[in-house]
């Protein structure tokens, strides 16, 4: 089997809902980021043999295959194919794994995996009636951001509450593991403080491709270069004062991810291709895994996927130097940490190895973009620390989990 390597990439700063990136078309945001990843590594656009791009909701712009439209709009040659992947929060991670599989099977030498989401620009959709052309009757107007670009609910799934709100699944996890509001808020605070420290030290800037924001009559042009959601000055007292969100008792705006906009892209290649291009890889793809469970507890699925991936990699959890686990909600993350010892023979993840640069609670979670952001973050961290193994895990709405193991061969 041929080895697949993560060469590097870029991500945009993550913008808040209605924030600095809200003026950019979703397909342009994606396309520009993919080009920026190639430019950073000196990769000719025509060398890309296939593109995958994760996007949960392209309903406003780039409808259909936003990966292809974004690539063409950004200047990729017509000869470069592209496909859009939707596995909710793990969309772009799944795309990266698909590219790695193609490389490992010998069907691909160089591929690009990317992701994008603009919650700010998610559109409205008018649902057709059952009659041909729907000439009469009420028209359902659907907010596609909350529907995941889907239509009216399936009665069977509705009856089993499969469409449960994500924030409610976090509350379900908190109840299942007996989490307190204090420890949930404490983890959220940890996320903000670590992300702020990484930003201030210039660590996050190593991944970020700044975005130029044009001027208006009221404001001059500027460079957008830092994640908008990080609140390094947040205190435990401030978090404690926030009220619970509807249908929950412990989930608040402070211990949950914020609505976000952003894009990310990473390049993957075979060792032979990387050598011919003169690019030193950041990490080797070792193994991956998926897992699925009851949608009511979707947040803990990464614990099971991570255990499967480590088993496939023939690694002990003690071999893992960095654990990058998606923080959709602080409670969901704590649930994963509570479940992992049950799946890993009692092993508990050391705090200093977990999400060293903070996570989505602070940075934000543009659904389609987060997966490849984590691939870039983990590969970069392995390289900077000169440590050998890292694992990442992402929970997925509908009750799934996806995991990936990477190796820094230089540290072997």
Give the active site residues. Answer: 89, 365, 395
163, 167, 147, 165: which is closest to 155 by C-alpha? Answer: 163
| Pair 392, 96: CB distance under 8 Å | no
DSSP output for 152-214: SPPHHHHHTTTT--HHHHHHHHHHHTT--HHHHHHHHHHHHHHHHHHHHTTTGGGTB--EEEP
User: How many angstroms separate the CA atoms of 37 and 40, rounded?
Assistant: 5
Burial per residue of 260-270, b for 16 or more beta-carbon CB atoms within 10 angstroms, e otherwise: bbbbbbbbbbb
Instruction: Provide the Cα torsion 240, 242, 247, 251; round to 10°.
Output: -50
Work out whether strand 82-85 and strand 400-407 pair parallel, antiparallel, or are unpaired.
unpaired
Q: Is 115 exposed, middle or buried (0-12, 13-18, 19+ CB in 10 A)?
A: buried
The angle subtended at Cα 273 by Cα 271 and Cα 278, nearest 5°, is 95
Work out whether strand 389-396 and strand 320-325 pair parallel, antiparallel, or are unpaired.
parallel
Q: Is 6 helix (H, G, I), strand (E, B) or coil?
A: strand
Q: Is 218 exposed, middle or buried (0-12, 13-18, 19+ CB in 10 A)?
A: exposed
């Amino acid at each position: 089997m041929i080895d697949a390597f993560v060469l590097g990439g870029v991500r945009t700063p993550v913008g808040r809902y209605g924030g600095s990136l809200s003026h950019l078309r979703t397909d342009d945001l994606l396309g520009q980021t993919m080009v920026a990843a190639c430019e950073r590594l000196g990769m000719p656009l025509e060398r890309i043999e296939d593109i995958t791009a994760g996007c949960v909701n392209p309903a406003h712009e780039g409808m259909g295959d936003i990966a292809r439209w974004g690539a063409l709009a950004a200047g990729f040659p017509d000869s470069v194919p592209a496909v859009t992947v939707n596995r909710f929060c793990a969309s772009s991670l799944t795309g990266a794994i698909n590219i790695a599989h193609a490389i490992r099977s010998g069907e691909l030498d160089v591929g690009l995996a990317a992701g994008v989401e603009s919650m700010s620009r998610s559109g409205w959709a008018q649902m057709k009636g059952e009659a041909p052309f729907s000439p009469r009757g009420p028209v359902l107007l659907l907010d596609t951001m909350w529907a995941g670009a889907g239509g009216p609910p399936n009665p069977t799934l509705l009856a089993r509450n499969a469409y449960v709100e994500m924030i409610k699944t976090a509350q379900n996890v908190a109840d299942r593991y007996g989490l307190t509001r204090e420890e949930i808020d404490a983890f959220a605070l940890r996320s903000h403080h670590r992300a702020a420290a990484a930003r201030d030290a210039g660590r996050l800037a190593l991944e970020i491709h700044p975005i130029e924001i044009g001027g208006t009559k009221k404001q001059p042009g500027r460079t957008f270069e830092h994640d908008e959601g990080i609140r390094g000055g947040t205190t435990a007292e401030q978090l404690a004062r926030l009220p619970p969100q509807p249908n929950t008792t412990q989930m608040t705006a402070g211990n949950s991810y914020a609505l976000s906009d952003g894009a990310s892209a990473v390049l993957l290649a075979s060792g032979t291709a990387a050598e011919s291009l003169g690019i030193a890889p950041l990490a080797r793809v070792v193994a991956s895994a998926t897992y699925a469970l009851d949608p009511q507890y979707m947040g803990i699925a990464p614990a099971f996927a991570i255990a499967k991936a480590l088993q496939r990699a023939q690694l002990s959890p003690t071999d893992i130097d960095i654990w990058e686990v998606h923080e959709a909600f602080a409670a969901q993350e704590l649930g994963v940490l509570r479940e992992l010892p049950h799946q890993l023979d009692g092993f508990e993840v050391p705090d200093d190895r977990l999400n060293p640069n903070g996570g989505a609670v602070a940075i934000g979670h543009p659904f389609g973009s987060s997966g490849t952001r984590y691939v870039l973050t983990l590969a970069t961290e392995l390289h900077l620390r000169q440590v050998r193994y890292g694992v990442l895990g992402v929970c997925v709405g509908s009750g799934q989990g996806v995991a990936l193991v990477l190796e820094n061969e230089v540290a072997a």
